[in-house]
């Protein structure tokens, strides 16, 4: 039986009269799943509540930031205290360096860090920095990876563009698009060919640490190390985008997992962070080797600035989130991810629905379809059965489970997903799996 969503429907109609598509970020419109987008009014721990009073176990977690769960008391308290001292000054505040130190302590390859407000800004600045450092124009990105919505990074991007089946964006000039080489992920031969042809013009490769905006697609064993070595042999830099995976896939992001597998001394030059580092408020960062980061103004010739960069409320939320993201929190996240992943797999198998489930630490996703092996690239992910996802999504939503409204997004657990929340998810899964089987 469907939930009462009268007020959400009214608000969607009202919003669509004044906001394009009724939303301020496309995936929220439920375009690929249909139905009434939920207007949420509160969240606590593992739960969110919509404007009609329906409560859901949340597996979106604000698309990542809510690592500790919604409205974690310590985070809310830190933000309230910061707010009581002033909302922002456009000057440095003491906690900015503390946040940078906290991040650097988790990421040994990061020596300097600059705070910005969104992941888009972080990757945009990292690319400008790579071009400034190398004096070269071209950027390599992988199909299905999403790095925010700056012009040069929208070609064959994941996330909302994958959801809407858009190959790129209107409004990007051919000149700008031509500065980005888009290659299939996990294809070392394609990368070698690109460097053979354009090697001296490539400034950087940008890659998600593990792809997670076309669902989770892991780097194949050896791929990341070979990519870094190839780039460095050719004088290019590597930007590892941890906006989504950072401090979520593990304490040190997906790089913390990958690092164990790469030869000593092989490391990216720059990293980008977002989501968890802002604890739910607008904050992101880029960091890396000092000799490259110090090219940023005011020390160097690469310009970057922001009225709201290092905003004290956002810094307070991020710092408190990271300080509470301790071993216990990662154990809880791991347990929640294990439990949900195992139960989804069991329910789909039980209902005879073919699927592939990939995990990047505590981050995971499910794609529907009969894949001989776990998808390694965007072309394969695009063959998934989106109609089955839609049926599954709505059955879960009706049962009070809020999944990402897209077949191309990862699922996000929080450290607050306790047994009661996990049991509610488990109880909803068999019927949702049967709904997918009936498609």
Q: Which residues are catalytic?
A: 146, 241, 275
**Binding flag, residue 410, ligand PLP (CB under 6 A):** no
* DSSP labels, 309-352: TT-HHHHHHHHHHHHH--HHHHHHHHHHHHHHHHHHHHHHHHTT
208 is an interface residue for ligand PLP by CB under 6 A: yes
Looking only at the bridges linking them, the beta strands covering 47-50 and 55-58 are antiparallel
Residue nearest to ligand PLP (CB): 119
Is there a contact between 184 and 191 (Cβ–Cβ < 8 Å)? Answer: no
CA distances from 336 to 332, 333, 394 (A): 6, 5, 22
Residue with smaller CB distance to ligand PLP, 82 or 212: 212
For residue 146, state whether it binds ligand PLP (rule: CB under 6 A). yes
User: In degrees, to the nearest 5, what angle opens at C-alpha 346 toward C-alphas 342 and 350?
Assistant: 175
Q: Are strands 355-360 and 363-368 parallel, antiparallel or unpaired?
A: antiparallel
Per-residue binding letters, 290-319, with ligand PLP (x by CB under 6 A): ------------------------------
**279 lies in the site for ligand PLP, by CB under 6 A:** no
Please tell me what DSSP assigns to residue 405.
S
Q: Which residues pair with 312 in a beta bridge?
A: none
- Using the rule CB under 6 A, give the single segment among 46-54, 74-82, 113-121, 300-308 that binds ligand PLP: 113-121
How far is it, in rounded angstroms, from Cα 290 to Cα 96? Answer: 17
In the bound state with ligand PLP, the residue whose beta carbon lies nearer, of 234 and 245, is 245
Please say which residue, 318 or 435, places its beta carbon nearer to ligand PLP.
318
In whole angstroms, how close is the CB of 435 to ligand PLP at the nearest point? Answer: 28
Give the range of 78-86, 112-120, 124-132, 185-193 binding ligand PLP by CB under 6 A. 112-120
Nearer to ligand PLP, 218 or 421 (CB): 218
| Contact stretch for ligand PLP (CB under 6 A) within 114-122, 191-199, 222-230, 305-313 | 114-122
For ligand PLP, the closer CB: 348 or 407? 407
Q: Of 412, 435, 416, which Cα lies nearest the Cα of 65? A: 412
> Strands, E, within 7-137: which ranges?
40-44, 47-50, 55-58, 112-116
CA 72 → CA 245, 247, 396, distances in Å? 20, 17, 25
For 351-360, letters b (16+ CB in 10 Å) and e give bebebbbbbb
Whole-angstrom CA distances from 300 to 235, 287, 290, 331 are 20, 15, 12, 42
Footprint (CB under 6 A) of ligand PLP, residues 335-364:
none
Q: Which stretch binds ligand PLP (CB under 6 A): 8-16, 145-153, 220-228, 382-390?
A: 145-153
* Smallest distance from ligand PLP to CB 247, Å: 13
DSSP string over 238-290 = EEEE-TTTTTTTSTTHHHHHHGGGSPTT---SEEEE-GGGGTTSS-EEEEE-H
# of chain residues touching ligand PLP (CB under 6 A): 15
Q: State whether the Cα torsion 381-385-389-392 is positive or negative.
A: negative
Instruction: Considering only residues 121 through 140, tell me which ones interact with ligand PLP, judged by CB under 6 A.
Output: 123
Nearer to ligand PLP by C-beta: 275 or 394?
275
Least distance (Å) from ligand PLP to the CB of residue 360?
12
For ligand PLP, which residue of 131, 141, 147, 248 counts as binding (CB under 6 A)?
Answer: 147
Q: Any contact of residue 243 with ligand PLP (CB under 6 A)?
A: yes
Contact pick of 26, 37, 45, 148 for ligand PLP (by CB under 6 A): 148
Q: How far is the CB of 270 from ligand PLP (least distance, A)?
A: 13
Q: Which is nearer to ligand PLP, 243 or 332 (CB)?
A: 243
Q: What share of the chain is helix, strand, coil (3-state, %, to 5)?
A: 45, 15, 40
Q: Which is nearer to ligand PLP, 40 or 249 (CB)?
A: 249
Per CB under 6 A, residues contacting ligand PLP are: 118-120, 123, 146-148, 159, 208, 213, 241, 243-244, 274, 284
């Amino acid at each position: 039986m469907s939930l009462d969503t009268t007020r959400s429907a009214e608000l969607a109609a009202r919003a669509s009269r004044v906001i394009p598509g009724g939303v301020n970020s496309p995936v929220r419109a439920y375009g690929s799943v249909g139905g009434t987008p939920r207007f949420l009014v509160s969240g606590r721990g593992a739960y969110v509540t919509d404007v009609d009073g329906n409560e859901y176990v949340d597996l979106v977690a604000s698309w990542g930031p809510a690592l500790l769960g919604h409205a974690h008391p310590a985070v809310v308290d830190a933000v309230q205290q910061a707010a009581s001292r002033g909302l922002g000054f456009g000057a440095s505040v003491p906690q900015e360096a503390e946040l940078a130190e906290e991040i650097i302590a988790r990421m040994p390859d990061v020596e300097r860090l600059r705070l910005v407000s969104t992941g888009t800004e972080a990757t945009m600045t990292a690319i400008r920095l790579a071009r400034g450092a190398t004096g070269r124009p071209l950027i390599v990105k992988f199909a299905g990876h999403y790095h925010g919505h700056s012009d040069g990074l929208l070609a064959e991007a994941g996330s909302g563009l994958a959801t809407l089946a858009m190959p790129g964006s209107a409004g990007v000039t051919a000149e700008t698009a031509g500065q980005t080489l888009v290659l299939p992920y996990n294809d070392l031969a394609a990368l070698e060919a690109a460097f053979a042809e354009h090697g001296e013009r490539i400034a950087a490769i940008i890659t998600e640490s593990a792809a997670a905006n076309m669902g989770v697609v892991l780097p194949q064993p050896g791929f990341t190390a070979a990519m870094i070595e190839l780039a460095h042999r050719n004088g290019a830099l590597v930007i590892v985008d941890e906006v989504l995976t950072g401090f979520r896939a593990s304490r040190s992001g997906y790089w913390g997992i990958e690092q164990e597998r790469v030869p000593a001394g092989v490391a990216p030059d720059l990293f980008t962070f977002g989501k968890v580092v802002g604890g739910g408020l607008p904050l992101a960062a880029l960091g890396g080797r000092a000799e490259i980061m110090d090219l940023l103004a005011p020390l160097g010739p690469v310009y970057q600035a922001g009225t709201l960069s290092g905003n004290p409320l956002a810094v307070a939320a991020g710092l408190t989130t990271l300080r509470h993201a301790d071993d216990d929190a990662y154990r809880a996240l791991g347990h929640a991810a294990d439990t949900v992943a195992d139960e989804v797999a069991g329910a789909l198998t039980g209902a005879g629905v073919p699927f592939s489930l990939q995990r990047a630490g505590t981050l995971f996703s499910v794609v529907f379809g009969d894949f001989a092996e776990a998808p390694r690239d965007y072309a394969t992910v695009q063959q998934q059965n989106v109609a089955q996802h839609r049926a599954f999504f709505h059955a879960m939503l009706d049962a009070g489970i809020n999944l990402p409204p897209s077949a191309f997004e990862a699922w996000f657990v929080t450290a607050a997903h306790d047994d009661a929340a996990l049991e509610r998810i488990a109880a909803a899964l068999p019927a949702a799996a049967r709904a997918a089987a009936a498609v």
